[in-house]
């Protein structure tokens, strides 16, 4: 037979026909039947034959069976039994006893702790929750988001015996001493030819500014607006402008009359009271001292030679050791004790022009977090007017004002020589939101709506020439003296505070200003907000911004205004191991921030910030200063609760669905047709119908529930 061998008939499992398997040619043939029928199978061996063959088979089977039993026994000892803590095996020191499940907010294991969701060691961890398993010795494992999962923490802690690399210790808080010594001379050496304005005569500066302040203060107090009212407080649910309600004609007439009179009688610029250039910021207790410390150090690190003034409310003025530390860096600490702007209210009643809500925050709720704005003790300026007062009272004629939580990326001094500043004497920056000023402000301010800037303003950075804008600054102070009225007129809940008062003060006075053309970018994280499907349990990262990136007139990034979550001492001991970066992603474009820093800065800015906070913590005067501030009523710095907290920012997509508009919309990703429909409904139709009682008002808890 060709091919060397013969074919064996084989029935296909699929039916139909007979297939043949080729056998080798040397294979013995089946014995043929005598009658020529098909070959039969050989007879089955007898039981005696099988018994004779058994010992030889046992030699093969028994060893394998014994090995299988040994493996099963080992697995049984390692696997945690219900209700029993696993013991660490000899030679496997990674095994840990379970402490329990620690749940976190926002679908991220490094987000803020949610104690209400903590579970026991034998509770099954399922999708839609995030957190980690805590094992003995403060070791964590199974650090998971809200994605698919099913396990118990007892099981995961026991698995550390076989995979100890999954274990990560909880961080210890920062302590002293710090291995990077504090040496400001290391970056002050490059600042040559330091002027006498780094060591000013502050008493003389105060004496020159006091008469100017008194003149402006008297003019403001002569032009009260007692009796002026607005239809309501503007918050995330109610907004009288969106609902189409109007400020009364009587209020419009009163306010217009008083503002016109103020501008006509405003005192002239006080010649000789101010001179030179400098940076101005406002400090406070622990909450604002930490970012102010960072601001001054970053300015000097960038080579900025401008002198700095830090203004404090009288009750928050720091002790001499703190003042001396700032003075060494050319930053003078000054006290805002020049007397309040507003008249004291009559006994037995308040009015709209008294100190009230609205603290100047950039992203809703005000800097006082929606609480009643406080007056500064000791005869000082009201807190809501601190920024405007610091600009007016500073010894400089040309001022770069920076919020304490602003981190410059480049030396800002060239702003004062920019052509735009030379032409107008004022540089302002845009906010993320559209203009939401009440329409009746057109008549109250005497400024046609066609001349209004279409967006809103962000006052975390400003460059101002006080000589050229003295009347406009007086008007801004007047606005801030009546916050309950003007803050409601100027803006919705997104940034209610002083930020619009400077632009509209200059506009009312007929003074020009320049608005930087580049809208703000956003810097934040992509892990603190996740959209999770309840059906598939799959989650998608969503961007949340915590810092605004502001640009110069050429479009280059210049400032990082970290206006959500102030810098504080709640830091881990080891930066590389436990620190959760708040600056991860730059929008638009999802640009990795670390890559951006390498290309544009050449150093790790967030590491610099961490180092300067560590150095502040280890200053010899810090402990005494912190204890003094706690006695004065400052909130204590919360301890680390679990991991260093990943900062959560503002969720722009939810604001879009709520109907708010602005240049923030260029930062959105993945908006759907359904999102656009909700945006259109909540922007126009719903507020008007709600004002008439024909629809329910938008409610954050009902219409845009936040991730827990």
Quickly state the pLDDT bin for 662 (edges 50, 70, 90): very high
Backbone angles phi, psi at 116, to 5 degrees: -65, -15
On whether residue 302 sits in a domain, the answer given is yes
- Burial class of 398 by CB neighbour count within 10 A (0 to 12, 13 to 18, 19+): buried
Domain membership flag for residue 376: yes
Q: Residue 154 belongs to what domain range? A: 98-169
pLDDT number for residue 37: 46
Looking at the structure, do residues 404 and 280 belong to the same domain, yes or no? yes
**Whole-number pLDDT of residue 192:** 61
Pick the more confident residue, 11 or 277: 277
pLDDT value at residue 77: 60
Smallest Cα–Cα separation from 704: which of 679, 680, 684?
Answer: 679
| Last-in-domain residue among 468, 500, 517 | 517
Query: Which one of 484, 517, 550 terminates a domain?
Result: 517
Please tell me the predicted confidence (pLDDT) of residue 57: 64
- Which pLDDT score, from 0 to 100, does residue 528 have? 55
Integer angstrom CA distances of residue 194 from 102, 255, 300, 325, 538: 54, 47, 12, 17, 59
Q: Which SS3 state, helix, strand or coil, does residue 619 take?
A: coil
DSSP 650: B
Q: Domains in the chain: how many in total?
A: 2
- Give the C-alpha separation, 599 to 596, whole Å: 5
DSSP string, 14-33: T-SSEEEEEEETTSPPPPPP
- Give the pLDDT mean for 424-429: 98
**Are 164 and 232 members of one domain?**
no
Tens-place pLDDT, residues 682-695: 888 888 888 888 88
On whether residue 16 sits in a domain, the answer given is no
- Location of structure tokens 């559209």: 434
| pLDDT tier, 171 (very low <50, low <70, confident <90, very high otherwise) | very high
Helix (H) or strand (E) run with residue 430 in it: strand 426-434
- d(CA 655, CA 408) in angstroms, rounded, equals 28
List, in order, residues 6 or more apart from 608 with CB less than 8 Å away: 298, 301
Task: Give the pLDDT confidence of 296-354 residue by residue, as tens digits.
Answer: 999 999 999 999 999 999 999 999 999 999 999 999 999 998 888 776 554 433 344 44
Max avg pLDDT among 159-168, 359-368, 464-473: 464-473
pLDDT, residue 189, reads 63
Range 220-242 average pLDDT:
92
Q: How far apart are CA 388 and CA 477, in angstroms?
A: 6
Mean per-residue pLDDT of the chain: 83
Find out whether 301 and 612 touch, Cβ atoms under 8 Å. Answer: no
In a domain, 212, yes or no: no
- Please indicate, yes or no, whether residues 229 and 316 belong to a single structural domain of this protein: yes
**Token pair for 445:** 């301010």
Q: Are residues 349 and 449 in the same domain?
A: yes
**C-alpha triplet 536, 540, 542: angle, nearest 5°:** 150
CATH, residue 284 = 3.90.550
Q: What is the pLDDT of residues 408-421, one digit of tens each?
A: 999 999 999 999 99
Residue 239 maps to a domain: yes
485 touches 357 (CB < 8 A): no
Statement to judge: residues 482 and 374 lie in one domain: yes
- For residues 164 and 225, membership in a common domain is answered with no
Q: What is the pLDDT of residue 83?
A: 41
The pLDDT, as a whole number, for residue 621 is: 96
The answer on 269 and 413 residing in a single domain is: yes
Token pair, residue 163, equals: 């995979």
Give per-residue pLDDT as tens, 375-419: 444 456 777 789 999 999 999 999 999 999 999 999 999 999 999
Q: Do the Cβ atoms of 612 and 542 come closer than 8 Å?
A: no
Mean pLDDT of 587-595: 94
Among 164-168, 282-286, 346-350, 642-646, which is the least confidently predicted range?
346-350
Instruction: Render 492-558 in DSSP notation, one character per residue.
Output: -STT-SGGGHHHHHHHHTT---EE-SSPPEEEEEEEEEEEE-TTT--EEEEEEEEEEEEE-TTS-EE
Q: Identify the band that residue 669 occupies on the pLDDT scale cut at 50, 70 and 90.
A: confident
**Higher per-residue confidence, 194 vs 596:** 596
State how far the Cα of 149 lies from the Cα of 83, in Å rounded to an integer.
21
237 shares its domain with 140: no
d(CA 259, CA 534): 56
Element (H, E) at 98: strand 98-104
- Summarised one tens digit per residue, pLDDT across range 66-109 is 788 888 776 666 554 444 444 444 334 556 899 999 999 888 89
Say whether both 139 and 276 belong to one domain.
Answer: no
Residue 225 per-residue DSSP state? -
Whether 210 is in a domain gets the answer no
- What pTM did the predictor assign? 0.81
Check whether 115 has a pLDDT greater than 50. Answer: yes
Compute the distance between CA of residue 649 and CA of residue 587 in angstroms, rounded to an integer: 13
**CA separation (Å) from 227 to 279, 311, 356?**
38, 33, 15
Closest C-alpha among 221, 216, 224, 268 to residue 474: 216
Render pLDDT for 243-293 as a digit per residue (tens, 0 to 9): 999 999 999 999 999 999 999 999 999 999 999 999 999 998 999 999 999
Domain match, 231 and 129 both = no
With cut-offs at 50, 70 and 90, classify the pLDDT of residue 140: very high
- What is the pLDDT at residue 708? 43
pLDDT, tens only, 37-71: 444 556 776 766 766 666 666 666 777 787 888 88
Q: What percent of the chain has pLDDT over 90?
A: 59
Q: Give me the pLDDT at residue 72, please.
A: 79
Q: Which of 63-72, 189-198, 464-473 is the least confident region?
A: 189-198
Pair 498, 360 in one domain: yes
| pLDDT of the residue at 91 | 36
Q: Is 666 helix (H, G, I), strand (E, B) or coil?
A: helix
Q: Given 492, 517, 542, which residue is the final one in a domain?
A: 517
Does one domain contain both 112 and 244? no
């Amino acid at each position: 037979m060709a091919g060397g061998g013969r074919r064996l008939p084989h029935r296909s499992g699929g039916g139909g026909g007979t297939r043949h398997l080729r056998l080798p040619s040397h294979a013995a043939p089946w014995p043929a039947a005598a009658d020529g029928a098909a070959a039969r199978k050989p007879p089955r061996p007898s039981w005696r034959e099988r018994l004779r063959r058994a010992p030889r088979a046992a030699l093969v089977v028994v060893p394998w069976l014994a090995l299988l039993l040994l493996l099963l026994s080992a697995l049984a000892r390692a696997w945690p039994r219900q209700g029993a803590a696993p013991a660490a095996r000899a030679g496997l020191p990674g095994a840990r006893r379970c402490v329990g499940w620690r749940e976190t907010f926002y679908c991220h294991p490094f987000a803020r702790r949610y104690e209400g969701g903590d579970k026991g060691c034998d509770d099954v961890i399922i999708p839609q929750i995030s957190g980690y398993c805590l094992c003995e010795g403060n070791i964590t494992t199974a650090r998971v988001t809200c994605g698919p999962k099913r396990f118990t923490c007892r099981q995961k802690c026991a698995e550390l015996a076989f995979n100890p690399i999954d274990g990560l210790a909880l961080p210890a808080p920062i302590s002293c001493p710090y291995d990077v010594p504090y040496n400001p001379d290391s970056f002050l050496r490059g600042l040559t030819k330091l002027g006498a304005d780094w060591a000013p005569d502050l008493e003389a500066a105060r004496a020159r500014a006091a008469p100017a302040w008194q003149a402006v203060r008297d003019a403001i107090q002569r032009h009260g607006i007692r009796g002026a009212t607005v239809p309501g407080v503007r918050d995330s649910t109610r907004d009288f402008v969106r609902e189409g309600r109007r400020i009364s004609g009587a209020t419009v007439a009163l306010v217009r009359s008083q503002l016109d009179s103020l501008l006509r009688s405003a005192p002239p610029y006080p010649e000789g009271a101010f001179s030179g250039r400098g940076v101005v910021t406002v400090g406070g207790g622990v909450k604002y001292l930490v970012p102010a410390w960072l601001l001054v150090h970053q300015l000097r690190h960038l080579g900025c030679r401008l002198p700095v003034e830090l203004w404090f409310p009288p009750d928050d003025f720091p002790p001499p050791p703190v003042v001396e530390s700032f003075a060494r860096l050319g930053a003078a600490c000054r006290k805002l004790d020049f007397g309040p702007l507003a008249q004291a209210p009559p006994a037995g009643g308040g009015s709209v022009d008294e100190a009230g809500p609205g603290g100047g925050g950039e992203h809703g709720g005000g800097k006082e977090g929606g609480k009643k704005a406080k007056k500064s003790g000791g005869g000082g300026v009201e807190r809501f007017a601190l920024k405007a007062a610091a600009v007016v009272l500073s010894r400089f004629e040309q001022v770069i004002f920076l919020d304490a939580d602003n981190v410059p990326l480049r030396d800002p001094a060239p702003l004062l020589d920019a052509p735009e500043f030379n032409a107008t004497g004022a540089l302002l920056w845009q906010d993320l939101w559209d203009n939401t000023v009440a329409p009746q402000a057109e008549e109250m301010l005497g400024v046609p709506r066609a001349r209004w800037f279409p967006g809103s303003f962000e006052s975390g950075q400003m460059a101002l020439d006080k000589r050229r804008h003295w009347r406009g600054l007086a008007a801004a102070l007047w606005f801030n003296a009546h916050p309950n009225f003007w803050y409601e007129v100027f803006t919705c809940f997104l940034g209610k505070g002083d930020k619009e008062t400077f632009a509209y003060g200059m506009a009312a006075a007929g003074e020009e200003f320049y608005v930087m053309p580049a809208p703000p970018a956003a810097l934040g994280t992509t892990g603190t907000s996740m959209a999770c499907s309840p059906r598939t349990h799959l989650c998608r990262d969503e961007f949340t911004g915590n810092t605004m990136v502001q640009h110069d007139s050429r479009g280059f990034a210049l400032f990082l205004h970290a206006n959500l979550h102030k810098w504080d001492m709640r830091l881990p001991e080891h930066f590389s191991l436990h620190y959760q970066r708040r600056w991860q992603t730059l929008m638009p474009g999802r640009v990795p921030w670390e890559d951006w820093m390498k290309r544009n800065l050449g150093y790790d800015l967030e590491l610099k910030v961490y180092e300067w906070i560590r150095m502040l913590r280890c200053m010899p005067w810090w402990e005494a200063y912190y204890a003094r501030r706690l006695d004065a009523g400052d909130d204590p710095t919360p301890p680390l609760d679990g991991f260093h907290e990943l900062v959560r920012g503002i969720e722009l997509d939810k604001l879009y669905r709520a109907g708010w508009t602005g240049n923030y919309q260029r930062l959105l990703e993945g908006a759907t047709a359904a999102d656009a429909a909700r945006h259109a409904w909540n922007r126009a139709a719903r507020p008007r119908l709600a004002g008439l009682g024909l629809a329910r008002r938008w409610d954050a808890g009902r219409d845009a529930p936040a991730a827990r």
